[in-house]
Each structure stands twice: as C-alpha cells, then as structure tokens.
C-alpha cells in the first residue's frame, strides 16, 4: 500500500557538481535545466525537483582572489548570474 502523491523533494537536500571549464558547466547546466528550472548563483532544479549547484572549479580562484577589488567584482558578478559564466567573473 502506498501513500497518495508519493514523496516530494525540497531544498533541504541538494547535490553539487564541480565542473572543469565552461564547456562542461554549460553541458551539465543545460541537461539539468532542460526540463527543470534555473535559479541564482549556479543553482537549478531538475525535472524531479532535485536541487543542484553546478559550479566550475575555476570560479573559486576568482572568488578567493587576494586582491579585494577583484574578489568583490567576482562575488557581485556571480550574484547576478543564473548559470555561472567564468569569463564574466573578471574584468
């Protein structure tokens, strides 16, 4: 005997993917959001409602830049993105 409606996903569970480069980021982002939805800062949901964060490993070098101006630029750029675009994280 099953419960009506079955289980549903919520944001208390999420999965993270560390991608190597923009091409891999684009491919995985597009696959997940194809029947899902885009969120902010690399977050998205697949067609089942599972939350994912798709992040290129190169993003970290920009966010953790020792130059506070460059780091702030990267953080502000990331906050305005849905899919992370590496080339937009620096001037």
Query: What confidence tens digit (pLDDT) does each residue in 13-72 have?
Result: 899 999 999 999 999 999 999 999 999 999 999 999 999 999 999 999 999 999 999 999
Length of the chain as a residue count: 91
Indicate the CATH number for domain 14-85: 3.10.180.10
Instruction: Decide if 81 contacts 63 (C-beta within 8 A).
Output: no
Do 79 and 91 contact (CB within 8 A), yes or no?
Answer: no
At CA 75, angle to CA 22 and CA 14, rounded to 5? 65
What pLDDT is recorded for position 13?
85
Q: What is the pLDDT of residues 61-87, one digit of tens each?
A: 999 999 999 999 999 999 999 999 999
- Residues contacting residue 50 through CB under 8 Å, at least 6 positions apart: 9, 13, 14, 15
């Amino acid at each position: 005997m099953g419960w009506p409606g079955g289980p549903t996903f919520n944001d208390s569970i999420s999965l993270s993917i560390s991608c190597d480069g923009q091409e891999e980021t684009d491919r995985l982002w597009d696959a997940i959001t194809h029947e899902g939805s885009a969120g902010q800062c690399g977050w998205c949901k697949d067609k089942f409602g599972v939350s994912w964060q798709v992040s290129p490993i190169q993003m970290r070098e920009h966010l953790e830049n020792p130059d506070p101006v460059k780091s702030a630029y990267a953080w502000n750029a990331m906050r305005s993105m849905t899919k992370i675009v590496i080339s937009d994280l620096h001037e």
